[in-house]
Amino acid sequence: MTKIDIVSGFLGAGKTTLIKKLIKEAYSGEKLVLIENEFGEIGIDGGFLADAGINITEMNSGCICCSLVGDFGKALNKVLDEFHPDRILIEPSGVGKLSDVIRAVQNIKRDDAELNSFTTVCDAGKCRMYIKNFGEFYIDQVEHASAIILSHTSGMSQEKITKAFDMLRELNHGAVIVTTPWDQLDGKQIVEAMEGDSSLKNELQKLISEQDDLSRHHDDDDECGHGHHHHGDDDECGCGHHHHGDDDECGCGHHHDGDDDECGNGHHHHGDDDECGCGHHHDEEHHEHHYDENGVCSCGHHHHHADEVFSSWGAETTVRFSDDKIRDILESLEQEADYGMVLRAKGIVMADDGGWIHFDYVPGEPDVRRGSAAVTGRICVIGSGINESKLQQLFGLNDR
């Protein structure tokens, strides 16, 4: 299956520079074809890429979205039939509409090719000017992108980067936006962003899955029929309920004793291999749960899915932090009354000295370290009853 990637962007945004980086650092070893569409009489960029051994089909004297749509389809089919490449890169004219390029690719309708990504490169210093002067074309390129890659951010102030980010996010709520200077990123990281693998939504889902796995795998002791894990001595289980060894009641309304228990539902639980009052046999190893489509298991109890128990919050940010500031923030997450019960937090943010801070948090165990650059700053938090507005304030995102 041939992957088709569109690298769009306004005139001078840096499309060719990006493509050269991706060819060198991410696409090496692939059989790759570039289809280039220049606006004007002469193809300027083709010679540079020919030196890299890339096959080029240039289409000049017009824009892919207007007079050359027919030629484009013919060129694309010819490339697929003659070269059978692993990947086709399409670099449309800087004044073309991305929506028309996407439509032209979709109209090919072949079983041996798929539209893989459609990216727009935006000069971070010219977003406002281009929106004002070339609104129809520029906004189309931004609105229809699956990923937006800011160029020329090296040496730019955080304030200017943030303004560009906010303008683009206003036009496109779902795309990954890469704000990090390209020389701090490997081409493979950029490709992950282009293909959506590093989106905020995906990062949050990974964190939710990790927490879900942790909640399902408890260390030792028994699990009762309600899906709650009970420890022998004054412990707290992974569900966030506190279970005491002697005659205590947990937050779920069930009464749990160390030995001969009766829970709040009138179910009698014995310490060993016994049958409880609800007629179900509770055994450490052999009690099985079979669920219907509503999440109700065969024992008659409703077992919650992760999205019923946990809530999550995430944000992309260009704000810079110090290591000490991140440590202070993570310590503050212990304040459940302010932020909710935070079970996990994870992120990569730019440091105020230009490096990158990686952090990971579980209650009582904050971890702050330096690491490699990310495509943009990103913060993910998962927990129960978390206060999103307070978290935004804690991380300084309300000041943007």
DSSP string, 73-123: HHHHHHHHHHH--SEEEEE--TTS-HHHHHHHHHTT--TTEEEEEEEEEEE
Higher pLDDT, 133 or 113: 113
Neighbours of 18 (CB within 10 A): 22
Share of the chain above pLDDT 70, in %: 65
Position 199 scores a pLDDT of: 64
CA atoms within 13 A on the CB side of 385: 7
CA dist 246 and 354 (Å) reads: 54
The answer to whether 150 and 124 have CB atoms below 8 angstroms apart is yes
The answer, yes or no, to whether residue 145 has pLDDT greater than 90, is yes
The answer, yes or no, to whether residue 311 has pLDDT greater than 50, is yes
At 164-221, the pLDDT tens digits run 999 999 999 989 999 999 999 999 999 999 998 656 777 777 777 777 776 666 444 4
Question: Which range (66-75, 151-160, 218-227, 367-376) has the least confidence?
Answer: 218-227
Distance of CA 243 to the CA centre of its chain: 36
The pLDDT confidence band at residue 280, using thresholds 50, 70 and 90, is very low
Question: Which range (29-43, 64-78, 339-353) has the least confidence?
Answer: 64-78
6 phi and psi, to 5 degrees? -105, 125
15 membership: H or E segment, kind and range: helix 15-25
Higher pLDDT, 36 or 363: 363
Contacts of 283 (CB under 8 A, 6+ apart): 273
Domains of the chain: 2-198 (3.40.50.300), 308-399 (3.30.1220.10)
Q: Tell me 388's DSSP state.
A: H
Neighbours of 294 (CB within 10 A): 6
CA dist 32 and 39 (Å) reads: 23
The pLDDT confidence band at residue 92, using thresholds 50, 70 and 90, is confident
The answer, yes or no, to whether residue 4 has pLDDT greater than 90, is yes
Handedness of CA 76, 82, 86, 91 (dihedral sign): negative
CA dist 336 and 247 (Å) reads: 26
Higher pLDDT, 289 or 125: 125
Instruction: Give the range with max mean pLDDT: 99-103, 201-205, 210-214, 228-232.
Output: 99-103
The answer, yes or no, to whether residue 286 has pLDDT greater than 80, is no
CA dist 339 and 82 (Å) reads: 59
Position 160 scores a pLDDT of: 95
